[in-house]
Amino acid sequence: MIDMDKALATACKTGKVSYGTNVALQNAKTGKAKLIVLASNCPKDIKEQIEYYGEISKVPVITYKGGSMDLAEVCSKLFIISALSIRETGDSDILKITEEPKQ
């Protein structure tokens, strides 16, 4: 099992990550992201839109166990994060999370 917090922190430090629901929605529509992470308290309508477009463009969308404040803390940012798009993973192995069988 991969430590989600550690993998996210590494991706934020060494990879290319965009923050915000608008960017995540755009990346879900265009398929430019390798992974989209949503906070557990992301607004329902936005979450549904991102998941819908992510499914169409085959971009995996996962929900982070914590809220937007927790997600910001993991990414070492001083603003809340409801959604983030990972375009380049850098040294992180976060994409292995999408390969693991769901329990």
Please report the pLDDT score of residue 96 as a whole number: 84
* pLDDT reading at 52 higher than 80: yes
Q: Average pLDDT in the 50-54 region?
A: 95
Q: Where are the domains of the chain?
A: 4-89
Q: What is the 3-state secondary structure (H, E, C) of 6-71?
A: HHHHHHHHHCEEEECHHHHHHHHHHCCCCEEEECCCCCHHHHHHHHHHHHHCCCCEEECCCCHHHH
Q: In terms of DSSP bridges, do strands 61-63 and 35-38 run parallel, antiparallel, or are they unpaired?
A: parallel
Question: Which of these, 98, 21, 7, lies nearest to 60 by C-alpha position?
Answer: 98
pLDDT tens profile 11-44: 999 999 999 999 999 999 999 999 999 999 999 9
Please report the pLDDT score of residue 3 as a whole number: 85
Please report the pLDDT score of residue 39 as a whole number: 95
- 4-89 has CATH 3.30.300.20 classification: no
* pLDDT reading at 102 higher than 70: no
* pLDDT reading at 100 higher than 80: no
